[in-house]
Structures are given as C-alpha cells and as structure tokens.
Amino acid sequence: MSPTRIVSLVPSLTELLFDLGLGRSVVGRTRFCIHPGEFVEKVPVVGGTKNPRLDKIRKLAPDLIIANKEENRKEDVEELQKDFEVMVTEIDTIDEALFAIHDIGWTCGVQDQAKELISKIRQQMEQVPDEPPMSTAYFIWRDPWMSVGRDTYIHSVLDHWKLKNVYGSQTRYPKTTLHELSLKKPELILLSSEPYPFKEKHIAEVSEFCPGSSVVLVNGEWFSWYGSRMLKAFSQLNILRKAIS
C-alpha cells in the first residue's frame, strides 16, 4: 500500500514529491523546503534539516519519512527509525539522483510519473554543448573558502558539463584559500548563491587573486538540487555552458 502521510526532511525531494503529484500526501517538511512555494507553505514545518523536531514528527504519525545521508543527522534518522519507516537516500552522483527518483516513485505508487521525469532529465543530459573542457573551481562558502570534492553531487554535475573540477582530487568539501586557488589557475570560477550567498562584490575579491580566470555568479540550485529540479537545472546548465565557452 502506498504511503499517504509523508514527512520530507530533504528540500529538493519535497519538491519532487509535489511534482510527482504527491502533494496531498506530504504532511510535514523542514523550513528549508521552500519549493513549490505556492503549495509547500501550507505544509506544517517540523524544524530544520539538521535539527528536526522529533516530537512534531511523531504527532504527524507519518507512514513514510524521507531523509538523506548528507542533509540529515545520523542520530535523528536512527531515532525516527525506531518508530517509523524511513527512506534514507544517498546522492553523490547524477545516477544516484535518478535512482532516488525511481525509488521514490516506486515506493509511493507513481512509477509512471517518475519514469517520465527521468526520461526528460536524460534528454537534457544528452544536449550538453560540444565545447572543450574547462578547468573550474566551484565555491560554496567564504571564510573559510570551501569548494567541492570528487565524491559530491555537485562534482558529478560539473563533470557531466565538462567543467573539470580543480579540487576533484579531494573529497567532500575541502577548505582552501584564494592564494591556493590562484596556484591552480582555473579557467572558470563559479560562485554559488547557496549555501553562502555570493554577490557581485565577491567577484572583484576573487579576481584580484585570479586575474586570468572568468568569475561567474551562479544559481546554486542548478548544481546542488536533485529530484525534479534537475529537469529545469540541466536545461539552464546547457545554456550556461554554451555562454561561458
């Protein structure tokens, strides 16, 4: 029997649930679950991704909780697993993100919708512009400066669009400095809108150390949100990839 009371602790997968037609079944979300805005605002908030209110979740009596290994804390997930069915996703690559769509679709009885979405995403993935690879640094944080390593979903996205991650030899989210960045001489530097809200003023700061690099502000959701957001994001990445070459 398909679940009818779902609590999602993963912002991008909350959006996926609505786009798969499961909005009426979503009874709880985190405060970071902001899409789709006109619908999700009606869903009760159960705290944040790192500090969910377990008491609020229990009162909602969910028959499925959707979590993520990176987004949520292990201790919270294990506590919830004592009383509820918890689907823990692990998404470090595009392929794993597509599998998560399939898994959620199958679990929630919307296999056909999930299959159609995956097909449309794959179509966008096949339309990557035929441009030469570019050495790239992608930043998610400032003070300390933090980039992305090879075992992250963002790295997988960069790689598919032939943006060769200059921090790809490292893991997770390596700390660095602008001086260290300058030694890598990336052709392209991407400053993400999230989690750190990079602005125009930061372009000048980075360019001072890397005058030979193109520095671009980008929408972090295009690179870090999986689920149904991949469809729109990948379409935008195809446009971006052609524009920066």
Q: How far is CA 124 from the centre of its chain?
A: 17
The pLDDT of residue 1? 84
User: What is the structure's pLDDT at 63?
Assistant: 97
pLDDT, residue 245, reads: 81
Q: Do domains 6-124 and 134-244 have the same CATH topology?
A: yes
The CATH code that applies to domain 134-244 is 3.40.50.1980
pLDDT at 33: 98
Single-letter residue type at 236: Q
Q: Determine the pLDDT at residue 204.
A: 97
Q: Strand 64-68's sheet: what is its strand order? A: 26-29, 6-8, 64-68, 86-89
For the chain, the DSSP string reads ---SSEEE--HHHHHHHHHTT-GGGEEEE-TT---SHHHHTTSPB-B-SSSB-HHHHHHH--SEEEEETTTS-HHHHHHHHTTS-EEEE--SSHHHHHHHHHHHHHHTT-HHHHHHHHHHHHHHHTT------EEEEEE-BTTTEE---TTSHHHHHHHHTTEEETTTTS-SS-EE-HHHHHHH--SEEEEESSSS---HHHHHHHHHH-TTSEEEEE-HHHHH--TTHHHHHHHHHHHHHHHH-
Quick: pLDDT tens for 175-199: 999 999 999 999 999 999 999 999 9
pLDDT, the chain, mean: 98
| pLDDT tens series, the chain, 245 aa | 899 999 999 999 999 999 999 999 999 999 999 999 999 999 999 999 999 999 999 999 999 999 999 999 999 999 999 999 999 999 999 999 999 999 999 999 999 999 999 999 999 999 999 999 999 999 999 999 999 999 999 999 999 999 999 999 999 999 999 999 999 999 999 999 999 999 999 999 999 999 999 999 999 999 999 999 999 999 999 999 999 98
CATH topology of domain 6-124: Rossmann fold (3.40.50)
Residue 239: the pLDDT is 97
Sequence ranges of the domains in the chain: 6-124, 134-244
